[in-house]
Structure 1
Amino acid sequence: MRSTISDDYVVYLQEHEFDMGLEDDSISVSQVKQSSDSEKWIEVMKNEMKSMKDNGVWDLVELPKGVKPIGCKWIFKTKQDSKGNIVRYMARLVAKGFTPKEGIDYKETFSPVSSKDSFRIIMTLVAHYDLELHQMDVKTAFLNGNIDETIYMVQPENFESNDSKQLVCRLKRSIYGLKQASRQWYRKFDQVITSFGFKENTVDQYIYLKFNGSKFIILVLYVDDILLASSDVGLLHETKRFLSSKFDMKDLGNASFVLGI
């Protein structure tokens, strides 16, 4: 097993996990309700809660005596295109106040991030061989990972159960903000993609390669962003269909603005 990355690096990744080229609007739920874009913000909050429900992230239970639940908060973001125009509103529910003890509450904590050098090499291959280059986004990626620990969390602000406000959320799946969430997501993704015939790169484990005769496709994983570079359009779309059958994906089509580049 790979050893845990140093705390400073983990903190950086956790901050970056819900950044990914987004601008932090630093607003509260009450400010969202009063803003001119309130309908758009509330809609994405509802979508986030639907993702939680669809993924079976928690059960509402009585809080055991002597147990203190962790908190949670809403993070609001706007995603911009290369020209600075807002193209997407995003609301993410993030766990907070979690101070785990390594070996008890969590194990490995690093995020699945390919290196920038690997990214540059692949872009060179794309240009040299005139490969098809497409981008996909995994919606609420971390919710795909299971957790082995028992963690209780307060109900999300603005979405408390009307008849069960005294209950808390017992987490069954990873949620953004938990230190082990990124590791659990990577483990799940690796199992799924290797079952489809992809082989992990021995140098950069977040890059995968699949050959089909003389055709090939390269997959680059950067937390929840996926780049697909292929010599064959058919193989590209076959991989897209497979990913969409396993995860809630957003197909972004031809890649034009990647990781802020």
Structure 2
Amino acid sequence: MMALVVHFELEFHQMDMKTTFLNGNLDKEDYMVQFEGFQESSSENLVCRLKKSLYGLKQAYRQWYLKFDEIVTSMGSEENKVDKCIYLKISDSKFIFLMLYVDDILLSSNDVGLLHETKKLLSKNFNMKDLGDASFVLGIKICRDKS
């Protein structure tokens, strides 16, 4: 994707998801024991029913991905058939790629307006931090000189 960004002189931005796994909905009932120190003396045997996914749950990544997929496809993006963490949205001659890596989202587009519109939609649905131009991805420092 970085090669395409450079070759076609695309915009390349990055967003970070805050509280990523809390966005996933649980599709079955899950319970956890009470935290040590939060138990009342008369209710030590009670458990907590989880309504949302938590960090550390085996299904947390999957539930987060399903929620992300639901929102992004409802925005008109299509999931890549080979790599299910890459999405493409085409609108006339404009296009945008969304690439998901755990809680980071890379966006590359040939149109700044579509890029900002997509960022707004993501921020409306999730608690996002806009990092602007991508500068550091998967241990790779990105330095662009568009001239």
**Cα distance, 1:164 vs. partner?**
9.4
- Alignment: residue pair count: 138
Q: CA RMSD in A?
A: 2.1
Note the alpha carbon deviations across 1:130-151, whole angstroms, 9 max, x for none. 1111000111111111221331
Q: Kindly provide the amino acid, as one letter, of the partner of residue 172 in structure 1.
A: K
Code of the residue aligned with 1:219 in structure 2: it is L
Query: Cα deviation per residue 1:158-197 (whole Å; 9 max; x = unaligned)?
Result: xx48999856532111111111111111111101100000
Superposition TM-score, scaled by structure 1 size: 0.49
Mind listing any 5+ residue stretches in structure 2 that lack a counterpart? Answer: 141-147
Counterpart residue number, 2:144 = none
Partner of 1:154: 34
1:57-108 per-residue CA deviation (whole Å, 9 max, x = no partner) reads: xxxxxxxxxxxxxxxxxxxxxxxxxxxxxxxxxxxxxxxxxxxxxxxxxxxx
Contact 2:22/2:54 (CA < 8 Å) preserved in 1? yes
Q: Does 1:246 align with 2:125?
A: yes
Distance 1:220-1:156 versus aligned 2 partners, 3 A rule = farther
SS at match of 2:57: coil
Which one-letter code corresponds to 1:208 in the other structure? Y
User: 1:151 touches 1:171 (CA, 8 Å); kept in 2?
Assistant: yes
Q: Which amino acid aligns with 2:87?
A: Y
The one-letter amino acid paired with 2:126 is F
Matched, 1:202 2:81: yes
2-side partners of 1:131 and 1:163: how far apart?
A: 61
C-alpha distance in 2 between matches for 1:223 and 1:212: 27
TM-score by length of 2: 0.86
SS in structure 1 at match of 2:119: helix
Q: 1:234 aligns with which of 74, 98, 113?
A: 113
Q: Which residue of 2 aligns with 1:36?
A: none
Distance 1:164 1:219 in 2: 50
Percent identity of equivalent pairs = 64
Query: SS at the partner of 1:133?
Result: strand
Contact 2:29 2:49 (C-alpha < 8 Å) held by counterparts: no
**Secondary structure in 2 matching 1:185:** helix
Which residue among 172, 183, 196 is the counterpart of 2:62? 183
Structure 1: stretches of 5+ with no match in the other structure: 1-121
Work out the CA distance in 1 between the residues paired with 2:39 and 2:112: 47
Q: What's the offset of the Cα at 1:212?
A: 1.2
Alignment of 1:1-261 (within 5 A): 122-147=1-26, 148-155=28-35, 160=38, 166=44, 168-261=47-140
Larger fraction in strand:
2
- The CA deviation at 1:236 is 0.3
Is contact 2:31–2:47 with CA below 8 Å preserved after alignment? no
Describe the shift of the 1:161–1:233 C-alpha distance in structure 2 as closer, same or farther (beyond 3 A).
farther
With over 3 angstroms needed to count, the CA separation of the structure-2 counterparts of 1:161 and 1:245, relative to structure 1, is farther
* SS of residue in 2 equivalent to 1:218: strand
2:92 and 2:58 mapped to 1: Cα distance?
41
